[in-house]
C-alpha cells in the first residue's frame, strides 16, 4: 500500500470518527439513546466520502513535493 492510499484512509477514518462522535453527542444532548448502527454508518459513510474528496488534493500535494525534490 503506497503512502497516498494510507493518508487517504487515515483522513477518511479520522473525519468519519469525529463526525460520528459529533452526531452521537447531538443525540445525547437531545435526550435520545445512543445508536451503535447510526454511529457505524456515520463513521463509514462520511469517512468514505471525505476520503474520496481529499484524495485529489493529497495527490497534487505529493506531486508538488516530488517536483521540488
Q: For 50-69, what is each residue's pLDDT tens digit?
A: 999 999 999 998 888 888 86
Confidence of residue 41 (pLDDT cuts 50, 70, 90): very high
- C-alpha R_g of the chain: 16
The fraction of the chain above a pLDDT of 70, given in percent, is: 99
Going by C-alpha positions, the residue among 65, 68, 67 that lies closest to residue 3 is 65
Q: Which three cell numbers stand for residue 37?
A: 448502527
User: Cα separation of 46 and 52, whole Å?
Assistant: 10
Amino acid at each position: 500500500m503506497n503512502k497516498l492510499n494510507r493518508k487517504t484512509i487515515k483522513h477518511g477514518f479520522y473525519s468519519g470518527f469525529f463526525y460520528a462522535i459529533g452526531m452521537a453527542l447531538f443525540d445525547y444532548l437531545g435526550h435520545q439513546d445512543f445508536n451503535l448502527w447510526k454511529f457505524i454508518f456515520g463513521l463509514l459513510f462520511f469517512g468514505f466520502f471525505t476520503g474520496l474528496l481529499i484524495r485529489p488534493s493529497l495527490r497534487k500535494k505529493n506531486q508538488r513535493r516530488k517536483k521540488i525534490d
